[in-house]
Amino acid sequence: MSTRLAAPDPAQRSRKRGAPGRGTGAASSPRTAPHAVGILLYDEMTLLDVAGPLDVFTTANTRGARYEIRLLSLDGGPVTTSSGARMLADLTVDEAAEYDTLIVPGACALPPAGADLLAAVRTLHRGAARTAGVCTAAFLLAHEGILTGRAATTHWQYAELLQRSYPAVKVDPDAIYVQDGPVITSAGVTAGIDLALALVREDHGAALARDVARELVVFLQRPGGQSQFTTLSRVPAATSDAVRRVVDDVLAAPQLAHTTGTMARLAGLSTRHLTRTLHAELGMTPATFVEAARLELAKTLLLSGESITATARAAGFGSDDTLRRSFTRHLGITPSDYRHRFSAPL
């Protein structure tokens, strides 16, 4: 099927790139000139990475903003998204003018980093006052050096790979979005809406951005970070038999009193050697790994209907307060909020 997503009749092309507004709070005052937004399209991109920001900007236009949106593809032709929907472009990349804001969407996995797509990102970024990468688009920006020395984020499943592949990027794996100067990146898929709302807030103030969020029935600022959506499947597999024994033992019963000493004895290592080995293989200290395992058990118990007190005891936290502090520190939300957010309705 073909889907055409475009702003209502963006008849005029951007005349001159302007610096993005800084949001004085005067949300009711329209811009004196349109704010040109270019959205790069390519095959296998995620549809919502484009549709989410597009709806934010067009909804902002009904509240007094003046975003002029152009959809760009490498050859000006339609693209096929990862869901199979086709999108039509307004212009080729070569026809594109300079933009106040460039949006680069991500893909379900890593974007197809072909030479033409990378060249388009490079060219469009040079002509943009502000560049935004949604989800795994961070890999395209990082490849072109746009994120070098900057803080950034991406989908939690790929954050470690982004950091490993581009050590000069300061990856925040838990952030919903990160803005570092004129470059902004977001977490996965729906976080493109959070990113676009942040841009609207910067351009037109919190009041207008809040109106847009209400219209779209989303948070203006989503509570918590990406960690609330993740699981221990993120932990790399242990490579040594010693660490594997420890991991299996802790995951089998996280609620037990696993100390560095007991884990070291099970592994047949000194406590210092175990700490070094566990950190090298899993990226965690023994205490951090135990807490992560208990947190996963607590999530399961909460979603199965257990009370917070029962969950705290059964998962090895001992008290409601300790459980609450762990949730808040690692997930950015309370146990009650987590249960309300992820429990299936009866």
Cβ-based burial of 327 (10 A; exposed 0-12, middle 13-18, buried ≥19):
buried
Mean pLDDT calculated for residue range 310-319: 90
User: pTM of the full predicted structure?
Assistant: 0.65
Cα angle at 159 between 166 and 107, to 5 degrees? 95
The runs of H, that is alpha helices, within the chain are 47-61, 115-126, 137-143, 159-165, 191-204, 206-216, 241-252, 260-267, 271-282, 286-303, 308-314, 320-331, 335-342
Catalogue all structural domains in the chain, each as residue range(s) with its CATH number: 2-225 (3.40.50.880), 232-342 (1.10.10.60)
How much is the mean pLDDT over the chain?
A: 85
Per-residue pLDDT at 9: 35
**Nearest 10 degrees: CA dihedral of 11, 15, 21, 25?**
-40
Residue 4 has what pLDDT?
35
Give the tens place of pLDDT for each residue, 248-264. Answer: 888 878 888 999 999 99
Cα–Cα dist 288/286, whole Å: 6
| Residue 346 pLDDT exceeds 70 | no
Q: Which of 243, 307, 304, 296 is nearest to 269 (CA)?
A: 243
Instruction: Over range 212-234, report the average pLDDT.
Output: 71
